[in-house]
Amino acid sequence: MYDKQQFQYYGKVGIGRTEAFEKKGLGKYSVNIGNICEFGCSYCYVTSITRKQNVIKRIVDQGHKLEDISCYREPENVIHCVSKDVDYISPKDDEYVFFCTTCDPCATREHAETTIKAIRLIMERSRLQVRVLSKSVLITNIALELAGYKDRITYSLSTGTASPDVSKAIEERASNITERIRALHWLQDNGFRTYAMICPVLPSEVDNVNQLLDQVRPDRCEGVWIEAVNVRGKSLVNTYKKLMNAGLEDHAKELKRVMGNKATWIEYTKRLFLGFQSELNRRGLFPRMRFLQYVSKNDREFFERQPGAICL
């Protein structure tokens, strides 16, 4: 693994509306401290969107490849914009602000410090709540620094796999899944609000529903969000290559089996949904289920009539 070349840029928006994440039930607003994540997980679709931004185009025009860079905002720029935008929020608004939709909010210590400062501003000058999602154990630093606002901040670590080997292959720069689970349990054991983000779940782990749920302790989570691998961009091809390069042929072959085949892809997502539906029902936790599904004409009817499914 090599270090990414880091770039910084200036943005104009501090707290912005996010209709997509509002529909997912994750947040009405978002704060994004970057647009190309430090981690660069193989399945991430964000670069297929942010690569259209002028700042990214300029970097690519210089001869850099997207997979070789990270691009985060200058910290003072983030704080300035959040400070400006929070004053436009109604003092009665207690909706969620999501950190972050386009990058990890605490991939490095510097990123974590920026996120802490931005959240503190929101806590001090509004009634808004905050939802933080990360693949880094540095999320516990945020929780400790902002412990006085426990009642208004909810934390999660993405946990789409139960395999440390899979995690290392497709999320190589992120904290390993074992470390993430330990951090999530620490948050729960120390009285912080948490939610589960079980995504993306590979086709090879469809039968691991019990283990995937057990490791997040869903009874201690305010909600359980679940998602299959996203088909946007080159996420599937990149993930397949990473799995093969790591010698995880069983996982790779199962992914390839459903790639490019609508029938097998729908079968995979339905099995995943029904598995979580059944197990959360058995545990008496089904009301917490939020299954995120990018529907097509072939599966829209099935998912639209399923409680617990959010059709995107």
What are the structural domain ranges in the chain? 1-194, 199-312
Backbone angles phi, psi at 51, to 5 degrees: -65, -15
- Does the structure show a pLDDT above 90 at 57? yes
Backbone angles phi, psi at 21, to 5 degrees: -80, -25
Residue 150: pLDDT band by 50, 70, 90 thresholds? Answer: very high
pLDDT of 236 reads 94
pLDDT of 2 reads 61
Do 111 and 31 touch, CB atoms closer than 8 A? no
Q: Provide the Cα torsion 187, 77, 108, 19; round to 10°.
A: 50
Stretch 198-202: mean pLDDT, rounded?
Answer: 97
Average pLDDT for the chain: 96
Residue 122: pLDDT band by 50, 70, 90 thresholds? Answer: very high
Residues 276, 284: Cα–Cα separation, whole Å: 12
pLDDT of 231 reads 84
Q: Which two tokens stand for residue 237?
A: 């091809």
Q: Which CATH number fits domain 1-194: 1.10.3860, 1.10.3470, 3.90.1720, 3.80.30?
A: 3.80.30
Residues 69, 64: Cα–Cα separation, whole Å: 7
- Does the structure show a pLDDT above 70 at 182? yes
DSSP string across 133-184: EESSTTHHHHHHHTGGGGGGEEEEEB---S-HHHHHHHSTTSPPHHHHHHHH
What is the value of pTM for the model shown? 0.96
Instruction: Render pLDDT for 92-110 as a digit per residue (tens, 0 to 9).
Output: 999 999 999 999 999 999 9
Residue % of the chain over a pLDDT of 70 = 99
Report which of 112, 119, 209, 96 is spatially closest to residue 159, judged by C-alpha positions: 209
pLDDT of 232 reads 77
Distances (CA, A) of 141 to 109, 184, 279: 9, 12, 33
pLDDT of 88 reads 96
- Does the structure show a pLDDT above 60 at 1? no
- Does the structure show a pLDDT above 70 at 59? yes
Instruction: Render pLDDT for 229-273 as a digit per residue (tens, 0 to 9).
Output: 988 778 999 999 999 999 999 999 999 999 989 999 999 999 999
DSSP, collapsed to helix, strand or coil, labels residue 197 as strand
pLDDT of 176 reads 96
Place of tokens 């990214």: 56
